Amino acid sequence: MQRTMTMRRSLHASVILLSAALGIAGCADMGDTSRRTLTGAGAGALAGGAIGSFTGDFGWGALIGAGVGAAGGYLYDQSRQAEQRAYTRGYEQGSRSRQ
């Protein structure tokens, strides 16, 4: 029984690490929004999995963490885009006032 649980945890950890490696490798041609959302999902899955392993439910913890992380990554991206648009508008207005 104990050996089966140890093997399951090893399998879960291997799957998570493989998924993270593939996710990182796939980020090369992504836009900022996709990259930030995926990064948030990966970080959330790792954190959720770690928390879930303490409570005995690694899979649900990772799943919930991935969802929360993806939402956080997306919201962070939207904030950065709004900040960039505001900077660009201010820069353009400043350039026009000099002319």
pLDDT value, residue 2? 63
pLDDT (mean) for 24-40: 80
Q: Please, which residues have CB within 8 angstroms of residue 49's CB and are 6 or more apart in sequence?
A: 12, 16, 58, 61, 62, 65
pLDDT at 68: 92
The whole model's pTM is what? 0.66
Q: What is the pLDDT of residue 3?
A: 65
Distances from the Cα of 36 to the Cα of 8, 31, 58, 61, 89, angstroms: 30, 9, 24, 21, 24
* Share of residues in the chain with pLDDT > 90 (%): 26
- Give the C-alpha distances (Å, rounded to integers) separating 9 from 22, 44, 69, 83, 90: 20, 18, 22, 42, 53
What pLDDT is recorded for position 19? 76
The mean per-residue pLDDT over the stretch 42-53 comes to: 87
Give the Cα separation of 85 and 31 in Å (integer). Answer: 17
pLDDT tens, residue by residue, 51-62 = 888 888 888 888
Position 95 pLDDT exceeds 80: yes
